[in-house]
Each structure stands twice: as C-alpha cells, then as structure tokens.
Amino acid sequence: MLLIEDNPGDARLVRELLGPNLLSDNTLVTIDMAHAERLKTALSYLQKNACDLILLDLSLPDANGLPTFQKLNKNFPLIPIIILSGQTDQTTAIEAVQQGAQDYLDKDELTGNLLRKTIYHTIQRHRLLLEIQGRAVELESQNMALNDFAHTVAHQIQGLLSQMVGYASLVDSHYQEQLSNQGKQAVDQIMQSGYKMNNVITELLFLASMRSETVQLNKLDNKRILAEVMKRLRYQIREHRAKIIMPDAWPNAVGY
C-alpha cells in the first residue's frame, strides 16, 4: 500500500491507526506501507513497485485538487485509490469518487476501525471487479470463437443444401415426364424446403453479423425487395395460384 501525504502529522496518524497488521474477517494481514510526500515521488515509486492500494491526499506540494487524482488514476488505472480529505476539500473528494476513486475518508473523523474496514472492502471490491472484467473478456473471446464456428457450419450446410436443391432441380427439369404426381410433389417439396432452409440460414447469419457491426440505415428499394420475396416464395405462389398486385407508387422506407 502507498500513502501519498505531505503532512507528517497526518502520515503518522495513518500509521498509528493501522498498526503493523490489519485484521479482516479473522485473518491477520501484514501491511507493507510505503510513503511519498509528493506526486512525482509517488509516480516514480509505482513505476518500480507493485501496489494493491493507494491512500491519497489531494493537496500536495507539486499537485493540488482533482488533477492530483486524475494524473495518478490515468497512469495507474488498475490500482484502487482512497481519497483522504479534509473539511475544505470534501467536494473535490466526491468528484474524484465520481471519476473512479473507490472511496473517500474525512481525516477529521478517521478511526482505526473505519480505516481498516474501508481498506479491506476496497481491496476485496476491486479484486472482484478485476475478476468480473477478466470473465467478461473470456466470455467475449468464447463468443467470438462460437460465432466463427457457427459461420463455418452454416456455410457448410448451405453448400449441402445447394447440392440437394440442385439435384432436385435436375430431376424436375429432365425427368418430369417420368415422375408420378406423387413423385413430382416430392421433388417440388424438396426444392421448396431447401430454399426455405437456405433463407433461414442466410437471415440468421445476417442477424449474427449485426451484433459486431454498426447498422447503417439506407433508403430501401421496395420493388427489388418484393421481387426477391416473390422469388423465394415462388413455389407457394404457384401452388396456391396467388396473384401479386404491385402498387403504382412505393412508399419511402429506410432499413438495413
């Protein structure tokens, strides 16, 4: 732990309140506390030494107010910081907490029990946060791997579907007269189901890609879209003898 405090009396008080050991949840933890009186000294120390927590006074000889915290937090964002404030800079301390400091303590109301509890809970909370962040990164990596796998499988299935529909189309084109009515219906159903499944896979791949890409809305070509829909539904249209009526004018619409 690093105490950044230029007032010798306040630094001595912190040492006395903590004592040589910190008792938390019936566990005796040895405190190794370094002390720096200036921000420059603290930054130099942190570049060379590991640190679990920082106790920071915002009023130092070479830095004052919120910029003291900001510079420290910018250079060492993974180290939790507790602000030690006086009555005159409580507002600044609260602003520091809003910008990422773990907590703040009023020097005039400081007790050994309060200081120990705050330090302990800050460290535990920060460790939990790092664990959650690490888990989030791991899950994101797993999702990307799963997404890549899904794309590979989907494209393989589409390839097999294309072969299936292709063979069915070949039978439909060249052996139509040799097929019974039941056979013709079966071939037609194979082709229809194949097109449907291929469309479903295409739409799923499109929706999956939207998770990682920014969707840009554009003016839609409604006539072209309807033509594509009619192409996909041509077997149903033929089977049910549906009549499609086109409008004289298409409404304006945006989409992706």
Question: Tell me, what CATH number does 59's domain have?
Answer: 3.40.50.2300
**pLDDT for residue 135:** 86
Distance of CA 175 to the CA centre of its chain: 56
State the average pLDDT over residues 231-240.
78
Q: Yes or no: say if 194 and 167 are a contact pair by the CB < 8 Å rule.
A: no
- Rounded average pLDDT over 4-26: 79
- pLDDT of amino acid 26: 54
* Secondary structure class of 246 (helix, strand, coil): coil
Show which of 110, 126, 159 is a domain's final residue: 110
Name beta bridge partners: 24. Answer: 27
Decide if 58 is inside a domain. Answer: yes
Pairing of β 254-255 and β 218-219 = antiparallel
Report which of residues 119 and 151 the model is more confident about: 119
Whether residue 234 is predicted with pLDDT greater than 80 in this model: the reply is no
pLDDT(49) > 90: yes
Mean pLDDT of 27-31: 62
The three-state secondary structure class of 250 is: coil
**pLDDT band at 214; cut points 50, 70, 90:** low
- Per-residue confidence (pLDDT) for residue 111, from 0 to 100: 87
Question: Is 21 within the bounds of a domain?
Answer: yes
Reported as a single tens digit per residue, the pLDDT across 80-89 is: 999 998 766 7
More confident residue, 195 or 71: 71
Q: Is the dihedral of CA 246, 248, 253, 256 positive or negative?
A: positive
- 243 occurs within a structural domain: yes
Token duo for residue 96: 């520091």
> Exposed/middle/buried for 15, CB within 10 Å: 0-12, 13-18, 19+?
middle
What is the per-residue pLDDT across 167-191, written as a single tens digit (0 to 9) for each? 888 888 888 888 888 888 888 888 8
- The predicted pLDDT at position 179 comes to 84
Q: What is the mean pLDDT of the chain?
A: 85
Expressed as residue numbers, the domain containing 51 is: 2-110
Instruction: Give the burial string for 38-75 (b: 16+ CB within 10 Å, else e).
Output: ebebbbeebeeeebebbbbbbbbeebeebebbeebbee
At residue 48, the 3 state secondary structure works out as: helix
pLDDT of 205 > 60? The answer is: yes
Q: Where a domain ends, among 87, 110, 133?
A: 110
Residue 177 lies in a domain: no
pLDDT class of 57 with cuts at 50, 70, 90: very high
How much of the chain exceeds pLDDT 90, in percent?
A: 28
Look at residues 68, 70, 89, 86 and name the one whose alpha carbon lies nearest to residue 10: 86
Q: What DSSP state is assigned to residue 185?
A: H
Q: Domain boundary residue among 92, 110, 128?
A: 110
Taking residues 105-116, what's their average pLDDT?
Answer: 88
- On whether residue 145 sits in a domain, the answer given is no
Q: What number is the average pLDDT over the span 132-161?
A: 83
- Residue 239: predicted pLDDT: 78
In a domain, 249, yes or no: yes
Q: Rounded CA gap, 196 and 186, in Å?
A: 15
Query: For 249, phi and psi rounded to 5 degrees?
Result: -135, 140
Domain count, the chain: 2
Contact partners, residue 49, CB within 8 Å, separation at least 6: 34
Which position has the higher pLDDT, 9 or 217?
A: 9
Residue 68 forms part of a structural domain: yes
